[in-house]
Structure formats: C-alpha cells, structure tokens
Structure 1
Amino acid sequence: MSKIIDFQCTYDNSVGINKEVTQNLDLEFPQAYKNWDSMALLAEALKDHNKATFCELPFCHTVEGEAMGGSINYGDENIGPRAKDYICTTAEELLALPEIDYSKGRISEVLKACKYLRQKGENVVLYISGPFTILNVLMDPRHVFKIFRKKPEVMKAIFDKFQKEIVGFVEEAQKSGVNMISYGDSTGGLNILGPKLSEEVVEMFTYPLFKRIEEILNDKTIVLLCPKTTFALLGTDKAVWHDIDLGVPIRYSEACVKVIGQTKFVGQMCIKNKEFELKNGIIKRISLL
C-alpha cells in the first residue's frame, strides 16, 4: 500500500462570508441564511465580489447536521452558521437520529436556491460535508474517537448511516440541477486522525461512499474532492490520476467546469483557491479502482 500524503489546508473549512459584501446588501441576518431567495442573492453577490466562475452554497458546513437534529448558532453578517450545543453523547443516540427530510428546513431552502441559480444559468457549487464534519455538529469529538478506537464495528454502523445521508444529498442536488458538488471533511484529515485511522476511514467509509456516488452521478455533474480526500484515496491505492489536457493555461476553477461530462471526480486543488492556475493546462481526473 502507498502512503497517505496530507494536504495543508489554508481555508479553515470555511466557505466564506465577506463583510464587504453583506454590508452592501439589504438583508437581515441571520434570517438571510435560512431563506432560499436571500441565500441566492448572497451567493450571486459573493460570486461577483470574488470574480468567481460559480456560485457557492451553503455558507457553512452545518446543514446536514442540523437536518439530522443538530443545534445551530445561525451567526450574523460577519460569520455564517456554526455548531452550538452537542446533542449526542453515545453511539446509540447517533444511530437513532432521524433521516434527513429534504422537503423542509434549511437544507430544503439550500436546494431551492441552487435550483433557482441553475435556472438563471449560473454554475453552482454545493458544499457537502463528510462524516467527521457532520459529527462535529452532533457530538463532542472526544466521544467520536472513543467509539472509533474501542468499538470499530459500531463506528462502521455510524459511517453506514452517514453514507446513506450523503448519497441522498447528492441525489437531491442533482434533482435541483446542481452541476458541481464539493466534498470535504477536513476535521477527519490525516493531521487529525493519523495514518492508521485515516486508512480505516477510507476502507470503511470514503471508498464505498464514492463508489456509490459514481453509480448515481450523471454526466452533467462533477464532484470536486477536497485534496485531503483525494490523497487519502490515492494513498490507499483506491484511486489513480489521469491527465486531461485542456491545451492552454487555465484557472483550476474554470477547468472544473470545462471537464464536466469527461470525468466524475477531480480533486488536485481546493476549489476555494479560486486563483490557482494550471499553468500546463492539465487537470487530473480521478479514477476509482
């Protein structure tokens, strides 16, 4: 087996709210984070401010956890929603959490905003979180790692539950017309889990998840992996890279749009690094083994 290489993230797992943008919009916070129309307006304003090629939703990594019953601090115009109080202390409580209902709550509003923006012709990146990021909303990490170390079979059941929810979110995203899905789980990265647990996560969760996503992904949608996830798959011999030569230097964010339909997965750079340029014009597609 190869060795997992870590990717040094400089974006702190944040999608990003810009005060310069919010202060110029006639929106009330935190209500603006809860309604599809204000979400869409904010996403468009952030796209223009960042000179990006796509709109980004949501503005935090708490949507899935909230939809499963998590307690959220909705923030203000300076910072987006974040976890408030943990609601679980045991594995049994986690496993008893309800399935996500995509017809109600903030997660429904996010999907409505995505659909509206796509109908306007915008490229839309929907940020979907991995299991440790979702768990960070629901349970103190100390309890999570205790379960993982002492009861790996129970952790597998938790992973299976979360895998089902993430696959469901991908399905709903495609129904809403989302053409770019960004997946990240930096709180479950190599720098936090260490090599042994990182390998176990790939075997128990990450690889099976993306094999399932590969089956349901249509040719109008691409998944943008956080490089931490990419290197975990490569380092456990679960995936390989292949070059797609676009012929000219191009920003990574623009290249991701161009290769929709040519590959299901990319992930050599963080999509939040909007100025990163592929100077040789080559973007790498990820092929699962």
Structure 2
Amino acid sequence: MGDFFTPKERLLRTLNKKGVERPPVICPGGMMNSAIVEIMETTGHTLPDAHRDWRLMSQLADDVFNLTGFENIGIPFCMTVEAEALGSEVDLGSLKCEPKIAREPYASVDNVDFLPVSAVAKSPRTEIVIQSIASLSKKQPDVPVIGSVTGPVSTAASITDPMTFLKELYKNKDMTHKVLDYVTDALIEYARLLVDNGAAVISIADPTATGEILGPRIFAEYAVTYLNKLADSIHKLGVPVIIHICGKVGSVTGNLKDLRCDAISTDAMVNLHSLKEELKDTTVMGNISTYLLEFGNEESVRQNTSRLVEKGIDIIAPACGLSTSTSLKNIRALTGAVSGGVYHA
C-alpha cells in the first residue's frame, strides 16, 4: 500500500476492497446535494440556473469540490431528472429549495405509458447532466465523478401518484412489477449515458424504498429485485455501485445482504459499526448526521467524524440529503477530520 492515492484511486480501491491509507470522504450528489447556499452566494454559480445549463452545472460542481474538501464531484444536484424524462412535471426550485415533482403524469400504475428507453437520452436535462459529467471527468481526471441515479421505487413513485403507488405495491402486484421493470430499464439507460460520458462510480439513492415504509417482505420483493437489476447492469459497464437506503434498517438488515452493490450507505440513526460487523464483508458508507451538520458546531462534527474513522467505517459521508443552509465551516470540519484539512481551491 502506498502512502498516498489520488481521490479517484482511493475511492475505487475502497469499493474494490483494496487497501488505502485512509477512508475516502465524499458526497455523491443527487439526494446528497452539497451545493449549499453559502457556496453559491460566494461564487455566483447558482441554482436553479445550473439545472438548465451544463456549463454552469459544471462550474458549481467544481466549486463544491474545491471549497468543501469532499473528494469527488457529484452530479446532478437533485432527484428529478429521471422522472422528468419519463413524463413528470418538475419545479426546479430556487437558490434555497431543491427541485421537486410538481405533477405526476399517471394516477395509477394501470395508466402508465411505456415510453421507449430512448426517451431518457432525448430529455434536455439528461443532456445537461451528461455534458457536465463529460466536461468534468476530462478536467479532473484524478477525481471520481459520481453519477447520481434515483432508485427504481422512488422513480416509479415520482411518475405515478405516490400514495396510490404505495398501495398498489400490495394490491396490484403484476402491473406494479411491470412498471418497476420499465422504470429500471430507463434507469439502466440513464446510468449507461453517465458512465459513457465519464462517471467513475454510480450512486443510487432510493428514499421511498425504506424498511419503515415497505417492511421486509415488500422491500425484498420490489426494492432488492430492481436495485439489483440496476446494479447488475451498471457492473457490466465496469463501474462500481453505491446504494443508499434511508431510515432505520433494522427490519431489513437481512435483505441488505442480498443487495449486489459495492457499498451500502445509511442514515444517521443506523449504528454503522454494528451494521458493518453484521454484514461482514460489506463496504459501508456514512453517516454523519445532516442535522448535526446544519445545527451543530465544528468541534462536534469533528468528533463524530473521527469516531467513525476510528471504528473502521470504509467511506465517510453525510448520512442523507444536506440542507442548503448547512455552513461551509461544518462541512470542512467533516472533511478535514478525515483528510487533515486539505482543500482544493
């Protein structure tokens, strides 16, 4: 093992279960968007404009990398690109508020129009994301560009009425499986475009697919099945996969062993050290409280981060989506506790 690795080498070696001198410290983008207001107001590269312009998206992603100490570039800054490509209307939000689904096109899984997978590539916002990834992967060859993908269950719940969809997981299984299979095929195409344009890692966040919402039986039937279909297809492209599962995972810990990913990321309420011991050979990632990052002080952030490093957590990262009002000093306290305070600007 060498004394030093580039950020890209360090993350890829960790995901491939090879030795590193210390854990990577990352924030993958997507649900874990680290384009905080303080950075945007400092640089003038702002959202929501960056959702519409790949050059501005690239500048903002570069700003985040340079100013935070996170050892990756994470794109995009939301979880709506895939659903928009499949027909949902999206409100792109504001400087302080991230994009959200304004209207789902289908009332039920029975009404879904099965678009060709080429619809993903034809979406203008997909083009913005892949152009930004292509540009940054060339500009920063030693930094892992992480392409963030919304998971199958969450995407399906973003193109159909979400409350109806959750009921149909139980009451309309045949059609729900068809819709999830269709959605997963679209996500595979989206991930392929990200990888073809330079994404070194794909991170999948599926916040609707939690043990608390689904329970272990439905989690296994739907979340594990379609997350694995997506992960298997990404692996065939030669790229590792991180999967983030929100909420408490106690009821689905046994199911997590069945996920065919290279690392599992969890929320702050999970004892990650215990989970790592229970899952044995699984690489674990996380899980600094985003509440602490928003409202705590630098010393508390440093102490909590150092505790995770001492307990052998493989990849250090925020536990969930960062508030846009999170302070840069607290983010730097997190990253500095891992890297020794090295920033890139």
Q: TM-score, normalised by structure 2?
A: 0.63
Q: Which residue of 2 aligns with 1:63?
A: 81
> Residues 96, 45 of structure 1: CA spacing in aligned structure 2 closer, same or farther, 3 A cutoff?
same
1:112 to 117, 131, 138: 131
2:229 matched residue in structure 1: 208
Distance 2:224 2:63 in 1: 40
Deviation at 1:41, TM superposition (A): 0.6
Structure 1 residues 12 and 81, CA gap change in structure 2 (3 angstroms): closer
Q: Give the superposition deviation at 1:236.
A: 6.3
Question: Are the structure 2 counterparts of residues 96 and 165 from structure 1 closer, same or farther at C-alpha, using a change threshold of 3 Å?
Answer: closer
Identity %: 20
Aligned mates of 1:267, 1:170 — CA distance in 2: 22
Q: Which runs of 5+ in 2 are unaligned?
A: 1-28, 264-280, 294-304, 316-345
Does residue 279 of the first structure (1) align with residue 297 of the second (2)? no
Contact 1:225–1:267, Cα closer than 8 Å, also in 2: no
Given the alignment, which residue of 197, 209, 217 partners 2:237?
217
Which structure is higher in helix share?
A: 2
Give the root-mean-square deviation of aligned CA atoms.
Answer: 3.4
The answer on whether the counterparts of 1:125 and 1:178 sit within 8 Å (CA) in structure 2 is yes
Deviation at 1:150, TM superposition (A): 1.2
User: Would the alpha carbon gap of residues 17 and 110 (structure 1) be closer, same or farther in structure 2, given more than 3 Å must change?
Assistant: same
Pairing partner for 1:89 from 107, 118, 122: 107
Does the 8 Å contact 1:69/1:98 carry over to 2?
Answer: no
Is 2:262 aligned against 1:235? no
Pairs within 5 Å for 1:85-234: 85-97=103-115, 99=117, 100-121=119-140, 122-202=143-223, 204-214=225-235, 216-218=236-238, 221-227=239-245, 234=254
Aligned residue-pair number: 251
Shift of 1:16: 3.7
Q: Give the direction of change, closer, same or farther, for the CA distance of 1:267–1:160 in structure 2 (3 Å limit).
A: farther
Q: Deviations over 1:243-284 (max 9, x none)?
A: 9xxxxxxxxxxxxxxxxxxx9x95443599895754366749
Q: Which amino acid aligns with 1:176?
A: N
Matched, 1:47 2:78: no
How has the CA–CA distance of structure 1 residues 116 and 270 changed in structure 2, closer, same or farther, with 3 Å as cutoff? farther
Code of the residue aligned with 1:54 in structure 2: it is N
Deviation at 1:223, TM superposition (A): 1.3
Q: CA deviation at 1:55?
A: 1.1
SS in 1 for 2:193: helix
Gaps of at least 5 residues in structure 1 are: 1-10, 244-262, 285-289
C-alpha contact 2:156 2:183 (8 A) present in aligned 1: no
SS of the residue aligned with 1:163? helix
Match among 72, 75, 80 for residue 98 of structure 2: 80
In structure 2, what is the equivalent of residue 269 of structure 1? 286
Whether the 8 Å CA contact 1:86–1:137 is kept in 2: the answer is: yes
Kept in 1: contact 2:144–2:200 (CA 8 A): yes
Deviation at 1:98, TM superposition (A): 5.0
The CA distance in 2 between the partners of 1:132 and 1:118, in whole Å, is 29
Q: Deviations over 1:195-216 (max 9, x none)?
A: 22112114542333333333x1
In 2, distance between residues paired with 1:194 and 1:234? 12
CA shift for structure 1 position 180 = 1.6
Q: What SS class does the counterpart of residue 208 from structure 2 fall into?
A: helix
SS of the residue corresponding to residue 61 of structure 1 reads coil
Q: Distance in 1 between matches of 2:55 and 2:287?
A: 27
Q: Which amino acid aligns with 2:163?
A: R
2:255 is aligned with what amino acid?
G
**Structure 1 length-normalised TM:** 0.74
